[in-house]
Amino acid sequence: MKTRITHFKQSLFAGLFGLALSTAAPGCGNTDPGTGGPPPPPPPPNKCGSCARYESCTSSGMCAINANSTWFLSIDSATITSTKPDGSAWDALGGAPDPFVQLDSKRTSTKQDTFTPTWQEGSTYTANNLLVQGVSVSLFDEDVAANDPIGGPTTIRPTEADLRGGILTVRNLGQAQTLTLTFTPQ
Ligand SMILES: [Ca+2]
Ligand SMILES: [Ca+2]
């Protein structure tokens, strides 16, 4: 008799504990409250805990970046070498470059006479676009006649770690010593 009571207490405790877990970790797994009818079977233990809103809980219990999540890719900033590859100045009379970035079909604004432009302009992509296809990036110095190429075109394909970290710095892209992109989940 004593043994049966102990078993009853254990199963009651397990039931309460399971309920507390599923209540504390919403948003991942099936939380259908049910409307009438027999109570649904208890959900399996939630190994994900709480995933970020741009993630989904995989069948193996891992929080993975959802391929359909959307991200704003911002062309943040760049640092540009003091001269063109041949050692000459970017513009007449030793002038600094006037850089802009071509990001796929979108072009940033042009920053006048600077080796350290900052734009914070970009486009929205799905995680799948970024991680699988990547984005095409080129930098130019805007000129009246013909733009001087600074770096690229190149395909930048961030990793999941880059998206989670929110930032990616590409180095030595032609005459761009650095090109920094940021990623913000939408
Ligand atoms: Ca120029
Ligand atoms: Ca200039």
**Domain of residue 92, CATH code:** 2.60.40.150
In a domain, 10, yes or no: no
In a domain, 45, yes or no: no
Could you report the per-residue pLDDT of 20-77, keeping only the tens digit for each? 444 444 445 555 555 667 777 765 556 788 899 999 999 999 999 999 999 999 999 9
In a domain, 23, yes or no: no
CA of 88 to the centre of ligand 1 (A): 10
pLDDT at 38: 79
Could you report the per-residue pLDDT of 114-166, keeping only the tens digit for each? 999 999 999 999 999 999 999 999 999 999 999 999 999 999 999 999 999 99
pLDDT over 70, % of the chain: 77
The ligand that comes nearest to the alpha carbon of residue 115 is 2
Domain that holds residue 155: 70-185
In a domain, 82, yes or no: yes
pLDDT at 47: 79
In a domain, 36, yes or no: no
Q: How far apart are CA 56 and CA 69, in angstroms?
A: 9
Residue 82's pLDDT band (cuts 50, 70, 90)? very high
CA of 76 to the centre of ligand 1 (A): 22
- Residue 94, number of CB atoms within 10 A of its CB: 10
In a domain, 171, yes or no: yes
In a domain, 49, yes or no: no
CA of 95 to the centre of ligand 2 (A): 5
- Residue 146, number of CB atoms within 10 A of its CB: 7
- The CA-CA-CA angle for residues 157, 163, 166, to 5°, reads 120
In a domain, 104, yes or no: yes
CA of 47 to the centre of ligand 1 (A): 56
CA of 143 to the centre of ligand 2 (A): 8
pLDDT mean over 167-171 = 98
Looking at the 3D structure of the chain, how many domains does it have?
1
The ligand that comes nearest to the alpha carbon of residue 175 is 1
